[in-house]
Amino acid sequence: MATGRRPGRRLAVEHLVSYGGIVYRHGAQGVEILLCGRSEPGIWGLPKGTPLPGESGEETARREVREETGLDVRIEGKVGVIEYWFTRPELCKRFHKRVHYYLMTPVGGSLDQHDQEYDIVRWFPLAEAERLLTYSNEAELVRQAEALIAQGQAAGRREDDP
């Protein structure tokens, strides 16, 4: 059975780390979650990105949320980590990615100031956000965030707490 790979050739593995946020607010009809979307091909996700040299995880998460959503945020705590694999055959590489997510609330900024990585950034009721998210591991993190919001606290200490 042909696999499309040359015999004896293994893909190199590269490990990546990113940081992002689950941004929420209390709207008129309950908790709302901020999602970033691409109308083509219809992808909805949570804001995230890779650290700049010397940047902490929290700094990365705040910067990426600001860039991708236009909002300044306050971190309430950690929600969790998702992991996934993807392949870039043209680079002859497999990637293992870990994304650390923080629970966040907006403290300023404006959605119309988001960058062009996404063409849609908007608030959704929590249950609708869970349904819209393209990747099930992100939807599971939103469910975890929902429990933390209901408790009125985020799990774990922040990186920059004394």
The pLDDT confidence band at residue 119, using thresholds 50, 70 and 90, is confident
Domains and CATH numbers, the chain: 12-151 (3.90.79.10)
| Euclidean distance between CA atoms 50 and 148, whole angstroms | 25
Question: Are 143 and 133 in contact, with CB atoms under 8 Å apart?
Answer: no
Residue type, 10: R
Q: What is the pLDDT of residue 158?
A: 42
Q: pLDDT tens-digit profile of 24-82?
A: 999 988 999 999 998 877 899 999 999 999 999 999 999 999 999 999 999 999 999 99
Residue 30 CB-density burial (10 A; 0-12 exposed, 13-18 middle, 19+ buried): exposed
Element containing residue 96 per DSSP (H, E): strand 93-109
pLDDT at 9: 66
Tell me the C-alpha distance between 14 and 151, whole Å: 37
